[in-house]
Chains A and B, each alone.
Chain A
Amino acid sequence: MKPQKNGILLLALLLAATVMIPIVSADVNGTDLVEKWQADHTIRVTKTVSTHYSNGTLTTDTTYTGTELTRRFGIEKFSVQNKVDVSSENAAKLGLDAKNVAISSIDSNEVFTAANDPPQLLRSGYPVWIYEYSGGVYHQLTEPINMIWSGAYPSTIKTEMTEKGWWDIIAEDTYYIYDGSWKADDGVASDPVRLFGGDHIRLWQLNTGEVVGAAHEDSSAPHHAVGFESAEHRILAFYLDADDTAWHVTIDNTYLANYVSSPYNDGYATFIGYW
């Protein structure tokens, strides 16, 4: 009778394990929800970068168009612009006309969302990606959040960088994260202009008081990100000085599921505590 009891016990344990394993290995971080949100908001668009002159303005446009973009957001296009005023007289002298000069055009899958349809956050509450804004619509950039600070004010965090010669007032575009509301970044960089490239981080203070950062290495101008891990590691080193006894750095401690293949980002954020 005893072997039979043990057999029943083993069978019960096996059944329990069968039920428990999927529960335990379920979406602990909330990455499935984030990925589902990403998939739901990914649409096929045509990206066109152009420079054109019209109505007294020389404009460099990065424009996204597509039927799904129009259907979802009621907009014909999503554009980010740089404008310079030029009078029609001067435009004629410069040979500028109203014709569009398409520089490049490519089809791609991009994540767009309306201001009132914010991105799904991880269970940890951390944002994952950063966004550019135009006309009530946010466009997700392939630039990951890769640093988290806890227990320190943004000014304290930035002091560690400015002590090393970094600049708090810099030339940069403004990008956003969602954390209960859309928040604009506060940038710090190794050089105010970065003509030759350099390291650059955007910071946002969350409602919890924690601060998240999107660190990247800029190419020489015109800028594009050429490294995420490189900048992350150089910045975390600011908090490892011998006199930094209050800073506690844990490299790649927090999984944010924002892996990027090129330039490489491992999907983990470095956590830096201050106590």
Chain B
Amino acid sequence: MSPEAMNPQKPLNFFSVLLISAAIVALWLVPVFASGSRVGNVGAGAWGYISIFALLLTIIAPMMYGWYSRDEPGAILVGVVPFLLTTGVSRIISGNTPQGIDYLVYSVIYVVLLSLAGGLEGYFAAKKTAESLLIALVLAGIWAGIFFSGIH
């Protein structure tokens, strides 16, 4: 029996995807609104731990959701949607729309690469084999590497 037959793909659970995505976006946004830490005289303080937790969750959520649900489309969405939404919202909050072609291209490539890595991470995790889990772990590492390449 093939691994696919042993681990049949589950249909898209839209509600779960929506719930997880909303939770991740909220975790990113709550510290900003709670502490006013985007810029200013008050830093993130203890809310900074929430930011770190949000980052970790953004990295592992596609893998966890994919592994436990075997919902391939859902896992891809969990890898793509929360960060895409968060970065989109961040542009609106900060008013930092990319200025200049260099930074615009850099920003687009940055977000596209992260979305790609996150989506593929979820996709491979949802296959629920040892090999695919390893690939998902590598992709999670790639995601973190790309993310920190944009944090100066």
Which of A60, A82, A226 is in CB contact (< 8 Å) with B96? A226
Chain A residues positioned under 8 Å from B28 (CB to CB): 195-196
The answer for the CA separation of A199 and B94 in the assembled complex, in Å, is 12
Pick out which of these stretches binds chain B: A35-43, A114-122, A159-167.
A159-167
CB pair B145 A83 closer than 8 Å: yes
Quick one: closest A residue to B98, CB to CB? A219
CB pair B96 A192 closer than 8 Å: no
Given A90-B138, A217-B39, is A191 in contact with B44 using a C-beta cutoff of 8 Å? yes
Which of B37, B38, B109, B141 is in CB contact (< 8 Å) with A165? B37
CB pair A58 B145 closer than 8 Å: yes
CB pair B42 A191 closer than 8 Å: no
Chain B residues positioned under 8 Å from A217 (CB to CB): 39
Does A104 reach chain B (CB closer than 8 Å)?
A: yes
The answer for the CA separation of A165 and B40 in the assembled complex, in Å, is 10
Chain A residues positioned under 8 Å from B145 (CB to CB): 58, 82-84
Interface residues on A, range: 35 or more
A1–chain B nearest beta-carbon distance, Å: 72
- Consensus secondary structure, chain B interface: helix
Given A83-B145, A161-B43, A191-B37, is A221 in contact with B120 using a C-beta cutoff of 8 Å? no
B97–chain A nearest beta-carbon distance, Å: 9
Give the B interface residue count (CB, 8 A): 49
CB pair B94 A222 closer than 8 Å: no
CB pair B142 A165 closer than 8 Å: no
The answer for the CA separation of A165 and B36 in the assembled complex, in Å, is 11
CB pair B151 A196 closer than 8 Å: no
Beta-carbon contacts of B31-69 to A below 8 Å, as 1s and 0s? 110010111111111111001100100000000000000
Does A63 reach chain B (CB closer than 8 Å)?
A: no
The answer for the CA separation of A60 and B150 in the assembled complex, in Å, is 10
Chain B residues positioned under 8 Å from A86 (CB to CB): 138, 142
Which of A85, A222, A237 is in CB contact (< 8 Å) with B150? A222
Chain B residues positioned under 8 Å from A94 (CB to CB): 120, 139
Does A137 reach chain B (CB closer than 8 Å)?
A: no
10 closest pairs, A vs B, by CB? A222-B150, A165-B45, A165-B43, A84-B145, A166-B43, A82-B149, A191-B44, A219-B96, A190-B43, A220-B90
- B residues with CB within 8 A of A: 28, 31-32, 35, 37-48, 51-52, 55, 86-87, 90-91, 93-94, 96, 101-103, 105-107, 109-110, 113, 120, 135, 138-139, 141-142, 145-152
- List 12 A-B residue pairs with CB atoms under 8 Å apart, sorted by A's residue number: A60-B149, A103-B105, A103-B106, A166-B43, A167-B44, A190-B38, A190-B43, A192-B51, A196-B38, A196-B94, A220-B91, A224-B103
